[in-house]
Amino acid sequence: MKIEEVILENIKKQKTNYAVKLIERNFSIDDPKYFYYKALCFYSKKNFKDALAYLNLALEKDLNNYLVYYNLGVVNIDLKRENLAIEYFRKSLKYNNAYEKSYINLAYIYYNNGDKRSALRIIKEGLTHTSSKELFDIEKKLLTKILAS
């Protein structure tokens, strides 16, 4: 198992103190992954402001990666900054247009703001890039809700 996988597994299990030790032991402060993984630790503790700061540091250190942009979108949803979240999910899709979670979160924002048609459009766009069962199921549910209204 690669060190990144071990770090992510510990973050998922809420063992962030151990994850931080692994990050500090395996990545230098010059490595953008140092900031990325620390941001995930902050996020798992619901420390959204520090998560945001560390994700931005990862970008400054040149980690232009779809997951950084995706996570910036997620943090901005939690900070109630939906317009910024939309921008970051769109940037995430520029780096990986098959990443279904970005489509799902974009659709979530539109749907929660009462724009079911835009939510459906986003899901359909995602289905042109990936054959995700989850996206297909969401599309069916959205169509049903739109037709019922």
Over residues 77-103, mean pLDDT: 97
Residues with Cβ within 8 Å of 33's Cβ and at least 6 positions away in sequence, in order, are 4, 27, 58, 63
Over residues 103-132, mean pLDDT: 93
CB-based burial of residue 30 (10 Å sphere; 0-12 exposed, 13-18 middle, 19+ buried)?
exposed
Rounded Cα–Cα distance for residues 146 and 77 (Å): 24
The two domains 1-63 and 86-148 share their CATH topology (first three levels equal): yes
Are 64 and 86 in contact, with CB atoms under 8 Å apart?
no
Q: Give the pTM.
A: 0.90
Q: Is the pLDDT of residue 68 over 80?
A: yes
Stronger pLDDT, 86 or 64, i.e. the higher one: 86
19-63 tens-digit pLDDT = 999 999 999 999 999 999 999 999 999 999 999 999 999 999 887
Are 106 and 89 in contact, with CB atoms under 8 Å apart?
yes
Looking at CATH, the fold of the domain delimited by 1-63 is given as: 1.25.40
pLDDT the model gives residue 112: 94
CATH architecture for residues 86-148 = Alpha Horseshoe (1.25)
* DSSP state at residue 23: H
Q: Is the pLDDT of residue 143 over 80?
A: yes
